[in-house]
């Protein structure tokens, strides 16, 4: 026993922490730590089906590097091309994990380093030997295999720098086993299992009668959450425990904050979103996004989004309701609970006056102005979702105009107050600073606030709580298609050149057009045609949702839930392989639990709960998911309460399924959440082994 402990201890000491983690997982990630994204690769030099870490510019750079090497032998050239293209692999960060810098090729599979492998498996997996055998005597310019990692060099061969296959593969080779990732000439695929089945159905219970647009969990980790309605009120509610039979504890007569005197409430206007500062329990800061009418409230004034910078004349804007151009504005305002309680986490009301006006922008029309705000879980910046401003087909092409903030997702630093010089030089729209890594530093044509562009009306976005790099937004379509987009830095999502994956022809173009060839659109990862939910034209409108990360319904775990506002339809998006960015979607049935704390109204002649309109989704601190509908607040509960089959559900009504039983496919592909939990375990193991030696 003591000898085994000493062996384990010496083994762990011989590995870096990074290597230990590699024995446990492999997570898709690009060299810059970004998430691989779908990319149209039909004519690419590095064609990766599904998702890729390379855009068209990256692909061209690799092509030029390869051509400059001037490799005469076609067999060697093919191998070198695959090695150079490995940086486009969705697992690029894993493949290029060796800490030498710079490093121009991935870790090449070299089964000869496995002492117990069979001769057959060595021959099958020893890609490193194949590279050596094929290329050792082939001349290449600026070889990426040269000592120094591909620094500029004259004509060279592998045999000029390395005396033998053993030397070469000791330098460039790596393990080929379950726990390690290495390059064997083909894209890395860790999960070859079939697409998991969709849930047999989603069981809901009704816990509240109010109609709300937004829900944000209290950052103190408790069972409380903030709810806001379109009229301009915010409440702090207590959520009942799963299975308790309780309902939402919320005093309608005593809102946490009442902004109804400032908020302009109409079909498309109102309080659009709320966000609580990540450090709220210490600083008491929270934020509200709403619409106002400058003819009714003096605090509503702001610069018009149609202006000379965009060659847009507000006086020429047609009015769809008799209002004047930019009569209405989108506003983000900061509030505080400081002074209303001894500690921010104990506050039950907020100070009614604004602490700071973060953002004000006049709107050209009366629709498509998004309005959701939320803080990034890893960067702490405020993300602001803004639609194209309205009217059919975005006539002024605001969504593609890089000088306009309409049709964009913005990323703002609300922790740093800008100087007057910064506001003037950057032409900011309020009191916020610009994060240093916003994409305008790479694309000088972009307004500095912009994080992503080409959206029509992003309605409900969320970060995956298990994988914060997954930032998904539902984007409302025009005539035919509703879409879900995987949002990434400087991503262009095509509108109005495209509606979903299809080219779009606007009925009028006073603001000019953007040609399809001039942009590199990122197409939706999920979506549905209007005909799938309703034959009436224009009657569909997507409501983006969340990845389901609760253990309450293990058959829904890891699936992305979203809905249609009008049709009352729900979908589950299933990613396969996991972390690939490739999704399939299934419309799923849903029902109301017979023992629901509040009796569900049913659709006439049906057993379906009458949700009426599905405005939004919510997520609490336990990762349970909520539907915010016109008829009330609904929570996803155990499938068996609606007699839906789920073999993974535990037999005990009060028991929660273990993570292992809920999602066994994650055993080899741990999320960042599990990785964070793994680190203290590794530290404890090291301490245990040290004490045992």
- Mean pLDDT of each 10-residue bin along the chain, 693 residues long: 36 36 56 75 74 86 92 93 92 73 78 46 69 93 74 72 87 63 82 76 97 97 98 98 96 97 95 98 97 95 92 86 88 95 94 96 96 97 97 96 98 95 94 97 96 98 96 96 97 97 94 94 96 70 97 96 94 91 94 96 87 96 98 97 91 43 32 41 46 44
- Determine the Cα–Cα distance for residues 382 and 391; give it in Å rounded to an integer: 27
DSSP letters along 270-297, please? Answer: SEEEEEE-TTHHHH-EEEEEEEEETTT-
Model pLDDT, residue 90: 87
Q: Is 655 exposed, middle or buried (0-12, 13-18, 19+ CB in 10 A)?
A: exposed
DSSP letters along 496-561, please? Answer: TTEETTEE---S--TT----GGG--PPPPSEEEEGGGT-SSTT---EEEEEE---SSSTTTTTPEE
Question: 276 and 286 in contact (C-beta within 8 Å)?
Answer: yes
Where b means 16+ CB within 10 Å and e means fewer, 213-252 reads bbbbbbbeeeebbbbbbbebbbbbbebbebeeeebbebee
Model pLDDT, residue 11: 35
For 14, phi and psi rounded to 5 degrees?
A: -80, -10
673 Cβ contact partners less than 8 Å away, ≥ 6 residues apart: 465, 466, 467
Where b means 16+ CB within 10 Å and e means fewer, 486-497 reads bbbebbbbbbbb
Q: Residue 153 corresponds to which tokens in the numbers above?
A: 């060099």
Angle between helices 165-172 and 127-135 (to 10 degrees): 130
Question: 408 and 386 in contact (C-beta within 8 Å)?
Answer: yes
CA-closest candidate to residue 332, choices 368, 381, 382, 380: 382
Which 3-state string (H, E, C) describes 652-691? CCCCCCCHHHHCHHHCCCCCHHHHHHHHHHHHHHHHHHHH
- Determine the Cα–Cα distance for residues 438 and 336; give it in Å rounded to an integer: 27
CA-closest candidate to residue 481, choices 463, 465, 496: 496
Q: Residue 329 corresponds to which tokens in the numbers above?
A: 């504005």
Polymer length of the chain: 693
The residues pairing with 335 across neighbouring beta strands, listed in sequence order, are 286
The residues pairing with 38 across neighbouring beta strands, listed in sequence order, are 51
Question: 648 and 554 in contact (C-beta within 8 Å)?
Answer: yes
- Determine the Cα–Cα distance for residues 95 and 29; give it in Å rounded to an integer: 10
Model pLDDT, residue 529: 94
Which H or E run includes 590? strand 590-592
Q: Is 116 exposed, middle or buried (0-12, 13-18, 19+ CB in 10 A)?
A: exposed
Model pLDDT, residue 152: 53
- Determine the Cα–Cα distance for residues 361 and 350; give it in Å rounded to an integer: 25
Which H or E run includes 471? strand 471-475
CA-closest candidate to residue 263, choices 334, 330, 361: 330
CA-closest candidate to residue 310, choices 383, 370, 388, 393: 388
């Amino acid at each position: 026993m003591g000898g085994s402990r000493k062996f384990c201890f010496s083994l762990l000491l011989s590995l870096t922490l990074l290597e230990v983690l590699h024995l446990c997982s492999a997570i898709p990630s690009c060299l810059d730590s970004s998430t691989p994204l779908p990319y149209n690769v039909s004519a690419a030099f590095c064609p990766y089906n599904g998702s890729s870490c390379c855009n068209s510019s990256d692909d061209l750079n690799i092509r030029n590097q390869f051509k400059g090497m001037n490799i005469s032998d076609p067999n060697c050239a093919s191998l070198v091309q695959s090695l150079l293209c490995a940086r486009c692999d969705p697992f690029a960060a894993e493949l290029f994990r060796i800490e030498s810098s710079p490093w121009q090729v991935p870790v090449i599979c070299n089964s000869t380093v496995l002492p117990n492998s069979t001769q057959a498996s060595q021959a099958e997996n020893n890609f490193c030997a194949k590279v050596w055998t094929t290329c050792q005597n082939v001349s290449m310019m600026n070889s990426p295999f040269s000592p120094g990692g591909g620094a500029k060099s004259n004509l060279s061969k592998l045999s000029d720098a390395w005396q033998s296959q053993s030397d070469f593969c000791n330098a460039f080779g790596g393990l080929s086993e379950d726990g390690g990732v290495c390059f064997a000439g083909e894209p890395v695929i860790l999960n070859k299992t079939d697409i998991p089945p969709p849930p047999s159905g989603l069981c809901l219970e009704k816990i509240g009668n109010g109609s709300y647009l937004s829900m944000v969990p209290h950052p103190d980790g408790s069972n409380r959450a903030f709810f806001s309605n379109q009229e301009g009120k915010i409440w702090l509610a207590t959520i009942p425990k799963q299975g308790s039979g309780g309902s939402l504890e919320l005093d309608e007569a005593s809102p946490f904050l009442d902004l109804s005197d400032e908020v302009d409430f109409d079909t498309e206007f109102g309080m659009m979103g709320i966000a609580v500062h990540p450090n709220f329990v210490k600083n008491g800061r929270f934020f509200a996004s709403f619409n106002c009418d400058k003819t009714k409230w003096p605090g509503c004034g702001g610069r018009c989004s149609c202006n000379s910078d965009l060659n847009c004349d507000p006086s020429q804007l047609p009015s769809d309701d008799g209002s004047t151009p930019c009569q209405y504005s989108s506003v983000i305002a900061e509030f505080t609970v400081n002074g209303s309680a001894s500690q921010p986490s104990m506050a039950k009301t907020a100070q009614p006056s604004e602490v700071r006006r973060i953002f004000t922008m006049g709107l050209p029309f009366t629709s498509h102005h998004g309005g959701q705000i939320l803080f990034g879980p890893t960067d702490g910046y405020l993300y602001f979702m803004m639609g194209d401003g309205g009217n059919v087909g975005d006539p002024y092409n605001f969504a593609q105009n890089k000088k306009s903030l309409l049709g964009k997702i913005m990323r703002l630093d609300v922790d740093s107050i800008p100087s007057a010089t910064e506001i003037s030089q950057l032409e900011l729209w309020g009191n916020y600073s610009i994060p240093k890594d916003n994409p305008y530093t790479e694309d000088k044509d972009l307004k500095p606030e912009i994080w992503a562009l080409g959206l029509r009306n992003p309605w409900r976005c969320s970060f995956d709580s298990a994988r914060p790099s997954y930032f998904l937004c539902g984007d409302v379509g025009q005539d035919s298609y509703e879409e879900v987009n995987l949002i990434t830095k400087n991503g262009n999502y095509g509108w109005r050149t495209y509606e979903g994956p299809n080219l779009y022809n606007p009925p009028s173009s006073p603001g000019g057009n953007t040609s399809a060839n001039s942009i590199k659109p990122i197409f939706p990862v999920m979506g549905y045609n209007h005909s799938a939910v309703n034959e009436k034209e224009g009657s569909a409108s997507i409501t983006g949702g969340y990845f389901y990360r609760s253990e309450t319904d293990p058959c829904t775990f890891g699936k992305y839930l979203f809905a249609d506002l009008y049709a009352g339809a729900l979908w589950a998006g299933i990613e396969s392989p996991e972390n690939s960015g490739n999704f399939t979607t299934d419309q799923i049935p849903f029902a109301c639990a017979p023992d629901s704390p509040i009796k569900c109204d049913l659709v006439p002649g049906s057993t379906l709960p009458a949700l009426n309109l599905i405005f939004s989704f919510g997520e609490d601190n336990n990762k349970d998911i909520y539907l915010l509908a016109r008829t009330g607040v609904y929570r996803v509960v155990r499938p068996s309460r609606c007699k839906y089959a789920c073999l993974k559900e535990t037999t005990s009504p009060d028991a929660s399924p273990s993570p292992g039983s809920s999602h066994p496919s994650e055993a080899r592909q741990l999320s960042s959440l599990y990785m964070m939990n793994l680190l203290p375990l590794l530290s404890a193991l090291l301490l245990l082994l040290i004490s045992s030696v």
